[in-house]
Structure 1
């Protein structure tokens, strides 16, 4: 098998992982959670998002998080529109994430715009950010299945990726938002994208573990040439606008699998588990990742 020697994991727990959490997590605890994750070795991370607190109340403390957690690493902030981007720029971040759903129905339920309307709105915003030297990450939701429209056509995903690439984005994060993809579909889609996209655009896979397929999908994506993955400590996550979406694939389970395969991530598993253990008591449901459960069940001396 032609697999990479090293893989980059982008930790999305503080943003994607917590955005749908029922318990409001105090900012001080989010800040400590982020600090523990960075101490575990993550060089890239989603910190928060500048979105309406009416729709995503968990992210209402975005300015506080940014003020305390910015450093020289690649710190992403999700900004869905002009207002969010303006707030992100004012906060001092240099790495901004935007998003669009391949599915029109999902996109309309998420931000009340069609996919085409979103792309047209994002084009000048992205081009302006690139002129000003920002790193732009485009997150592409419902790239495999939509909870409302079903199976997504690979060519529709490719078209959006090519359009974003033409706008000048630095990274494409292609997401199995509701966790319905299988390894064969992942290999086919990422092989298609790798063939048609420029090699200079970073290509990242984002999996949810709704049906327990995320690790298998990561393995298939590795075989297709992908060496960047979004993961979430503790398997936290779920989209408020995607019925049936469970948590993201757990960072600790991915780190363990890749380590067993001889693939380096630069992440210290023991310190990562410390971060998961820290945030666990604050959550509305237990952390269920395999590595975390093993840690809990190890007999204490």
Structure 2
């Protein structure tokens, strides 16, 4: 039953991160053919934005070492961003005909050093020419900002610290800013305050996306808080796959199916066929050899099999 709530957008864009953020955390590499079929199935289910892979050093994230091969197996079309870590990654993206990229920054010094081997300032200095060249080449650029609610080494992260780095990412020229609760410790009040502070700092709410991990079961509640604060783009991973290889306390992403179930019930349009999406996650779970962690996938798959 659809029962709308006041203060929500009519439509939400789901930024699907399963093929990149989900599969990068697998213990073994998934074959290219399976990855390509995964992306095709996600698109057929109605997902318009699918982050396909990451052009990082293969020795750092071996699960995504086949990025060029995967991109060559897929049609070149809008809504297929890839993550790039530096100018070398951008060169590889351009050679593959990519038109949308993402960069990945940190709100905390410890994670910046562990993930990028740089301070926050040094990482932003590294990203500046990447964004500048990408924009000159006509590419759309997303900026990820991780550890916005908490850091496993530093603890709580002050909102003003997060907003200061977020403002700098936007000033570099990022078209969209994804605020990431990488270890899943945030709660709705914190999310509301963070988005409000970002808007007060001059970051248009239309440019803000949110990326929640479900470590403490707060991802859906935090997404709803973000929507009530004016956000209309939510990151999610089909089947709840994913984590972060550089932060062990970062467990799975918000499951796309769980998000779609909630939004369908609220009367918020996503354009996603939930049945097709569940079938996709059940299919991928079979390839990975384990059940999906998504509650909606498990519930609907059980109903289907009765």
TM-score, length basis structure 2: 0.95
Aligned partner of 2:24 in structure 1 is: 19
Say if 2:139 is the partner of 1:134. Answer: yes
Are 2:151 and 2:157, in contact at CA under 8 Å, matched by a contact in 1? yes
Say if 2:102 is the partner of 1:97. Answer: yes
Say if 2:275 is the partner of 1:278. Answer: no
| Distance (Å, rounded) in 1 between the aligned partners of 2:206 and 2:125 | 20
**TM-fit CA distance, 1:200:** 8.1
**TM-fit CA distance, 1:246:** 0.6
Which of 173, 187, 190 is matched with 2:192 structurally?
187
| Distance (Å, rounded) in 2 between the aligned partners of 1:270 and 1:200 | 31
Are 1:170 and 1:201, in contact at CA under 8 Å, matched by a contact in 2? no
**TM-fit CA distance, 1:299:** 6.0
1:239-258 equivalences in 2 (<5 Å): 239-258=244-263
| Distance (Å, rounded) in 1 between the aligned partners of 2:126 and 2:105 | 11
| Distance (Å, rounded) in 2 between the aligned partners of 1:285 and 1:144 | 30
Distance change in 2, residues 1:141/1:64 (3 Å): same
Are 1:96 and 1:134, in contact at CA under 8 Å, matched by a contact in 2? yes
| Distance (Å, rounded) in 2 between the aligned partners of 1:185 and 1:266 | 29
CA RMSD of aligned residues (A): 1.4
Are 2:183 and 2:213, in contact at CA under 8 Å, matched by a contact in 1? yes
Say if 2:132 is the partner of 1:117. Answer: no
| Distance (Å, rounded) in 2 between the aligned partners of 1:292 and 1:214 | 16
Aligned partner of 1:228 in structure 2 is: 233
Aligned partner of 2:3 in structure 1 is: none
Are 1:174 and 1:204, in contact at CA under 8 Å, matched by a contact in 2? yes
SS of the residue 1:298 aligns to:
helix
Which of 52, 58, 78 is matched with 1:53 structurally?
58
Question: Which shows bigger deviation, 66-75 or 26-35?
Answer: 66-75
Which of 8, 27, 37 is matched with 2:13 structurally?
8
Aligned partner of 1:173 in structure 2 is: 178
> What is the CA deviation profile of residues 275-296 of structure 1, one whole-angstrom value per residue up to 9, with x for unaligned ones?
1011102226431211111123
Are 2:167 and 2:203, in contact at CA under 8 Å, matched by a contact in 1? no
| Distance (Å, rounded) in 1 between the aligned partners of 2:304 and 2:71 | 39
Distance change in 2, residues 1:2/1:121 (3 Å): same
| Distance (Å, rounded) in 1 between the aligned partners of 2:83 and 2:293 | 26
Q: Give unmatched runs, 5+ long, in structure 1.
A: none
SS of the residue 2:143 aligns to:
strand
TM-score, length basis structure 1: 0.96
**TM-fit CA distance, 1:89:** 1.2
**TM-fit CA distance, 1:71:** 3.0
| Distance (Å, rounded) in 1 between the aligned partners of 2:71 and 2:205 | 28
SS of the residue 2:111 aligns to:
helix
SS of the residue 2:24 aligns to:
coil
SS of the residue 1:74 aligns to:
coil
Aligned partner of 1:208 in structure 2 is: 213
**TM-fit CA distance, 1:264:** 0.6
Aligned partner of 2:86 in structure 1 is: 81
Aligned partner of 1:196 in structure 2 is: 201
Say if 2:68 is the partner of 1:66. Answer: no
Aligned partner of 1:158 in structure 2 is: 163
| Distance (Å, rounded) in 1 between the aligned partners of 2:220 and 2:53 | 25
| Distance (Å, rounded) in 2 between the aligned partners of 1:171 and 1:247 | 23
Are 1:165 and 1:201, in contact at CA under 8 Å, matched by a contact in 2? no
| Distance (Å, rounded) in 2 between the aligned partners of 1:299 and 1:76 | 33
Tell me the number of residue pairs that the alignment of Structure 1 and Structure 2 aligns. Answer: 301
